[in-house]
Amino acid sequence: MTLSAETTFDHFSSLFNELASLEAIQFSSDISASQYLLAYRLVLEHARPGASVLDWGSGEGHFSLFLLEQGFKTTGFTIQSTCKLSEHLSDRFKDQYRLVSDPNAVSELCFADNEFDVVTSIGVLEHVREPGGSEVASLQEIRRILKPGGVFICYHFPNKYSWIEAISQYIEGKYSHTYKYTRKDIRQLLQVSNLELVETNRYGLLPRLVFRKMPDRAFVTECFNAADSALSRLLSGVCQNHYFVARKSIDS
């Protein structure tokens, strides 16, 4: 499915500009910022208006800002001591946003059963083994805190066969993920965690972060996005990332 009119670069240019002004590192160029357009579409397709959303592993807080601007009641969660944009978000969205910080919540989350309509993971699930957790333990906790029929949206989940990952491990100073995954891995993780796979795909053939310092030109960004979309369909197997959407059974 192609991006709808509500998830185009032009529609979110003001959000990108705001995040750039707040010095969110991924938004220092429009090409880099556009990597999140697909994530925005997934949320808008699978979350009802006004839903309660947990931004699990919120990082700087850029995805929380997107969620808040769309009218979602948003909880940011981090195991870090702070979140770069949390003060800005709290000031701007006083009754709509909260940040929860728990450095000990590697496997167990400090939320009630059936608390959220949606949980998002933007480049988080693949890192849970690093502080001593596991993907299955995290998914089981996410299932617990989701309402019956609630959805989990996982984005930037690294592809085992990514050409970018394959090259990065041989470049000094270039980051490469320790844990990478196949579609079979995704299905097995969800099956063990008792979550239903709704959809999954691979995306992102062209590197974007290398263009963080490139001067912004709308035409160039739109051409880059179109090329990346077309090439990602053509060479899906070696794209950088997977996304997947999973649902908790309505009978749970």
Residue of 170 and 216 predicted with greater confidence: 170
Please give the pLDDT value at position 172. Answer: 79
Which of 61, 55, 57 lies closest to 84, judged by CA?
A: 61
Please give the pLDDT value at position 46. Answer: 97
Q: What is the mean pLDDT of the chain?
A: 93
pLDDT in tens, 176-234: 899 999 999 999 999 999 999 999 999 999 999 877 777 778 888 999 999 999 999 99
Residue of 26 and 145 predicted with greater confidence: 145
Instruction: Find out whether 120 and 55 touch, Cβ atoms under 8 Å.
Output: yes
CATH topology of domain 5-247: Rossmann fold (3.40.50)
Please give the pLDDT value at position 251. Answer: 87
- Distance (Å, whole) CA 3 – CA 8: 6
Look at the block and give the residue holding tokens 């192609």.
2
Confidence of residue 2 (pLDDT cuts 50, 70, 90): very low
Please give the pLDDT value at position 6. Answer: 53
Q: What average pLDDT does range 32-37 have in this prediction?
A: 95
Please give the pLDDT value at position 5. Answer: 39
3-state SS of the chain is CCCCHHHCCCCCHHHHHHHHHCCCHHHCCHHHHHHHHHHHHHHHHHCCCCCEEEEECCCCCHHHHHHHHCCCEEEEEECCCCCCCHHHHHHHCCCCEEEEECCCCCCCCCCCCCCEEEEEEECCHHHCCCCCCCHHHHHHHHHHHEEEEEEEEEEEEEECCCHHHHHHCCCCCCCCCCCCECHHHHHHHHHHCCCEEEEEEEECCCCCHHHCCCCCCHHHHHHHHHHHHHHHHHCHHHCCEEEEEEECCCCC
Which range, of 89-98, 150-159, 204-213, averages the lowest pLDDT? 204-213
